[in-house]
Structure 1
Amino acid sequence: MSVTTNSPSEKMAHSAIISFLGSGFAAVAALVLTIMVGRALGAEGTGLFYLAVGLFTIASQMLRLGSNSAVIRTIATQRALGTTGHATSVLYIAVVPVLVISVGVAVAVMLLAEPIAGFFVDAGQQEGFASLLRELAFLVSLSAVLAVLHTLTRMLNSVLMFTMLQNILLPAGRVALVGVALWWGMDAFEVVFAWALSIPFWVVVTTGILLPKLRDDRKLRKDRLEQGTTREFWNFSASRGVGAALEICLEWVDVLLVAALRSPAEAGIYAVVTRIVRAGQIIDRAMRVAVSPKIAHHLALGEAHAVRTLHTKATQTMILVAWPFYLTLIFFGQPVLGIFGPEFESGTRVLAVAALGIMILTSTGMLQSLILMGGRSSWQMLVKAISLTLSIGLNIFLIPFWGIMGAAITWTAVIILDASICGFLVYRKMRIGLEIRYVIRSALVAFMVFGCGWLVLRLFSSQSLGALLIGAVVLALVYLLAIIVLRQWLGLGELKVKLLAGRRNA
């Protein structure tokens, strides 16, 4: 007797669960790392750490050239149209330009390390920061290549393998290396180098995992790669690469500007705030990993109704899972920040504003994935360009006067603008909607249990870690019961755990 998961819905649910658990582990690992850094280095050291990590992350994301999304879209589209056996060709198409350009950039960084460091830090820290940039230059190149290899494991091996590599083993290794560096008494820049040190090892491991799958895939080849595939791949990747660069700049530009316009200490507090808030996006990342290939498949076949259903379920899931976390940050942010050290509690109100912004974003669903998997990467590039322009302008105007609160207000304003434009493009131009009644009902249940629950608890208890833990347990139980009782009203009645599914397939 065996248990099988042959239907598309079962496979998608299985992938979503794996992705969610992996993203959850990665988010917890990131928070643990932030706690370690915050408590060991203080606000100023944390600011310097995340200044360097932010620059590394921006460079790595930009040097991928948008190839990640193009790999997913190209292979998913080929499968939908019955074309197989060309994964090796897709790998070459993606990796060779990434490797060549990233190595060139690494050489340039090594030559220009001093002026780059002088732009971001003061004279006393310039030499150490320049030395760090030289050490990280080629690791950034390998990081870009590793991201492409990880994406290919997602398409050739499994979501489980991709999740293990990217969301479990890599983050766990970073936590271990940073922990050793902090225990050894290293400074912020040395800790950053430790954070990046495992990348070459994972490039070798991932390549070894991919080779057997690439050999198996080549055996399925029946004809030559369709002419124009390379051009189509990079036409998509070009605009996606710019869009991804703009997107990662949006994620980090506020931290960098706080460091430049205020101080490393304030940048450290703000970095911790944004890391906490972004931890709630684990469900968004999990849904993208699980659902994006399926969206590309349905869009390639013109199955708009299936895409609408997927989008609705994904949005509901994101709201039901993520909103309780954000509402917790809004009402009980002080004890959460206190975990990172007493210096960080001054960011409580900033945390509430940032959490509200991400709540708004979560309620819009998978707009970015719909645009990208629909082949409209140029749309995303334009939206991100507008959002980044607003972010830089507002941050430069507000940060000198309001500090990190100005950065948080800018964060929320940019999210609202971005979601509004993407919503218009998806709902009006692509004509892919939502079953809005189910989305509203999901938001209402989350708000009534956690919003009202935390408000009552805050009125009658102190802002303490104990109250937070007890309240979280009680509200989680009430919330689970509410979802079970209201599952038909929420449109979740058909979602059943088929514990005995194997009997029908025995």
Structure 2
Amino acid sequence: MTADATAGDHLGHVARGGLLGLAGSGVAAVGAFALALVVTRGFDAETAGSFFATTTLFTLLATACGLGVDAGLARFLLRLEARSAAHDVRRTLRLAIGPAVAVASLLALVGTLVAGPLAGLLGLGAEGDRLLRVAAVALPFAVAADLCLAATRALGRIRTTVGVDRILRTVVQLGTAGLVVALGGGPVLLVAGWAAAYLLSAAVAVVLLRSFLATRPAGAPASPDASPDPSPDPDLARSFWSFTWPRGVAGLAQASVQKADIVLVAVLLSPAHAALYTAATRFVAVGQMANQAIYQVLQPRFTAILITEDRATLRTVFGVSTTWGMVLIWPLYLLVACSPVLYLSLFGDSYADATSAVVVVVVMALTMLVSIAAGPVDTLLLMAGRSGLSMTNALVAVALDIGLCLLLLPRIGIAGAAIAWAAAVVTRSGLAFWQVRRHVGVSPQPGHLLGVALVPVVCFALPALALTASGSTALLPWAAVTLASLVAYAVALHALRARLSLDELVAALRRRPTPVLPSTSPTSAQELACASER
């Protein structure tokens, strides 16, 4: 297979999986918004607040209990399959998922024991301890579901994640919430229905993973004389966890960057300021969900390419995926950055009148433009075996975020939190960008990125800035300008389809997918852990 054909095959996987992931993320985003409407309209503010506090805590704990295993599976499973080590694939799943579920089970037990004091600390109300105990039961199931789905993604299948996590769980949680409201149930029943979705997801995810593994090809032996199923590698567990534990720390640090500023705003200023800051930052998550859909597909693609040490293909896939990300997500952030008052008015006049909130919106939108233009640098850094560098970057970012929040919040209010967050995100992306260029030899081309950026800037930013300068906040003019921008953007994308790699996107979608397994591969866990660092 030629280098162009190999790159095209990988891009085909990214295109098909990315579009499927985007569709699933769209369903999840709509479902999450609808769930918020059902809960806030069906219950009083105190009950709704207790529900959201409980579910947020649950989500953070589930992330912590994951221990970074999803990244470890994405790096190891294809490599083990490439050397026909079917038993080591299953060993890896056991040694990865088992400890994570055990940690979640222990934390769930502790949570049930301290539910009373914890509910009082969080201000969850009279039934807060019952809410926490009900949610705690589902914690191990949530972790099991997430990691079983991560295993199928690591082996190249995204549709199980879309079907189970994005659609099934979302629909069940929204449906049970609606049913509880219709029947006049209370907050405990509401949390129970929300948590039950994880029990169902875990059962379906386990069945699908077992079925998927049973249909996987054994792969090609590393050499003609090699055994089709090599003996178990005694270093596998050590190699896996030496790579994975830094990723677990990095994941916690990343979650802290996303949440710590909101907590610090509430503590150092007031809950009212925290509500304003939260509303001003909601748009960030929309683009991040789209980005995550692409990056989840890229993990196994990068792994498959790194096994073969095909740097030309790696550069092509990295560069094209960065271009596609900018083409897809930049318009959203440009529109928000250029019309912050209109965006804030969706939450009410008091939000739109807050100058500090406008600063928050602009700073965060511009920061996300930089982050997306850097490309999937952290994903590539992880799949190249540099989980320690990823962890260091995340810890530097969270320290910078918290430190600047403590310094700036008392002086300039919530704008200080936005500046701190922006500094943390840009620093983390910048470090990963430099490290990928140094250790992997891959980085976007600045001239190409500038050319890609000009298209959404001209089509979306300039018209939005002109309308903002006119002082209009009426929805009809903004809808007309946005529609005109979309038409102009479609025309520009068609005219520049070769430069923006959109021809490759169309060709990739049409190309029949083929498995990408190397003809030669590392033969031990130690080599697996180090192969792509050479």
For the superposition of Structure 1 and Structure 2, which TM-score range results when normalised by the shorter chain? Answer: 0.7 to 0.9
1:172-228 Cα deviation digits (max 9, x unpaired):
333333444556677888755554331111111212222222334498873333331
The answer to whether the Cα contact below 8 Å between 1:255 and 1:271 also exists between their aligned partners in 2 is: yes
1:218-271 Cα deviation digits (max 9, x unpaired):
988733333311221111111111111111222222223333344444433433
Q: Distance in 2 between matches of 1:451 and 1:44?
A: 40
Which of these residues, 224, 235, 239, is aligned with residue 232 of structure 1? 239
Residue aligning to 2:517: none
The answer to whether the Cα contact below 8 Å between 1:65 and 1:240 also exists between their aligned partners in 2 is: yes
- Corresponding position: 1:474 with 2:480: no
Which of these residues, 237, 242, 266, is aligned with residue 249 of structure 2? 242
Taking the TM superposition and a 5 Å limit, the aligned residue runs for 1:33-432 are 33-34=35-36, 50-84=52-86, 86-121=88-123, 125=124, 127-155=126-154, 158-181=157-180, 194-217=193-216, 222-340=229-347, 344-345=351-352, 346=354, 347-432=357-442
Gaps of 5+ in 1: none
TM-score normalized by the length of structure 1: 0.87
Q: Distance in 2 between matches of 1:408 and 1:428?
A: 30
The answer to whether the Cα contact below 8 Å between 1:255 and 1:267 also exists between their aligned partners in 2 is: yes
Instruction: Identify which range, 263-272 or 482-491, moves more after superposition.
Output: 263-272
Gaps of 5+ in 2: 1-5, 220-227, 513-534
The answer to whether the Cα contact below 8 Å between 1:45 and 1:268 also exists between their aligned partners in 2 is: no
**Residues 1:414 and 1:39: Cα distance change in structure 2 (over 3 Å):** farther
The answer to whether the Cα contact below 8 Å between 1:58 and 1:252 also exists between their aligned partners in 2 is: no
- Corresponding position: 1:438 with 2:437: no
**TM-aligned CA deviation for residue 272 of structure 1:** 3.6
Q: Distance in 2 between matches of 1:283 and 1:185?
A: 36
**Residues 1:500 and 1:165: Cα distance change in structure 2 (over 3 Å):** closer
Q: Distance in 1 between matches of 2:343 and 2:44?
A: 16
**TM-aligned CA deviation for residue 171 of structure 1:** 2.4
Q: Distance in 1 between matches of 2:415 and 2:135?
A: 32
1:2-58 Cα deviation digits (max 9, x unpaired):
xxx994433332222212222233233334444555667798877655443332222
The answer to whether the Cα contact below 8 Å between 2:302 and 2:380 also exists between their aligned partners in 1 is: yes
| Aligned-partner residue type, residue 153 of structure 2 | R
The answer to whether the Cα contact below 8 Å between 1:371 and 1:426 also exists between their aligned partners in 2 is: yes
Instruction: Identify which range, 183-192 or 233-242, moves more after superposition.
Output: 183-192
**TM-aligned CA deviation for residue 374 of structure 1:** 0.6
| Aligned-partner residue type, residue 241 of structure 1 | G
Instruction: Identify which range, 126-135 or 418-427, moves more after superposition.
Output: 126-135
**TM-aligned CA deviation for residue 167 of structure 1:** 2.0
The answer to whether the Cα contact below 8 Å between 1:39 and 1:341 also exists between their aligned partners in 2 is: no
| Aligned-partner residue type, residue 420 of structure 2 | T
The answer to whether the Cα contact below 8 Å between 1:299 and 1:307 also exists between their aligned partners in 2 is: yes
Secondary structure of 2:281's match?
Answer: helix
Q: Distance in 2 between matches of 1:202 and 1:300?
A: 32
1:450-492 Cα deviation digits (max 9, x unpaired):
1101112223462133333322221111011111112234454
The answer to whether the Cα contact below 8 Å between 2:64 and 2:251 also exists between their aligned partners in 1 is: yes
**TM-aligned CA deviation for residue 109 of structure 1:** 1.9
**TM-aligned CA deviation for residue 375 of structure 1:** 0.8
1:411-459 Cα deviation digits (max 9, x unpaired):
1121111112112211123322223322221111111111101112223
The answer to whether the Cα contact below 8 Å between 1:66 and 1:237 also exists between their aligned partners in 2 is: yes
| Aligned-partner residue type, residue 204 of structure 1 | A
The answer to whether the Cα contact below 8 Å between 1:120 and 1:260 also exists between their aligned partners in 2 is: no
Q: Distance in 1 between matches of 2:182 and 2:366?
A: 36
The answer to whether the Cα contact below 8 Å between 2:156 and 2:297 also exists between their aligned partners in 1 is: no
**TM-aligned CA deviation for residue 401 of structure 1:** 4.6
**Residues 1:212 and 1:500: Cα distance change in structure 2 (over 3 Å):** closer
Q: Distance in 2 between matches of 1:261 and 1:42?
A: 27
Instruction: Identify which range, 58-67 or 334-343, moves more after superposition.
Output: 334-343
**What is the RMSD of the two structures over their aligned residues, measured on CA atoms?**
3.1
Instruction: Identify which range, 237-246 or 29-38, moves more after superposition.
Output: 29-38
**TM-aligned CA deviation for residue 329 of structure 1:** 1.3
**TM-aligned CA deviation for residue 126 of structure 1:** 5.3
Q: Distance in 2 between matches of 1:114 and 1:375?
A: 42
Residue aligning to 1:486: 496
| Aligned-partner residue type, residue 95 of structure 2 | I
Q: Distance in 2 between matches of 1:490 and 1:498?
A: 14
Residue aligning to 1:12: 14
Instruction: Identify which range, 221-230 or 94-103, moves more after superposition.
Output: 221-230
Identity %: 26
**Residues 1:383 and 1:9: Cα distance change in structure 2 (over 3 Å):** closer
| Aligned-partner residue type, residue 375 of structure 2 | G
The answer to whether the Cα contact below 8 Å between 1:449 and 1:475 also exists between their aligned partners in 2 is: yes
The answer to whether the Cα contact below 8 Å between 2:97 and 2:147 also exists between their aligned partners in 1 is: yes
**TM-aligned CA deviation for residue 295 of structure 1:** 0.7
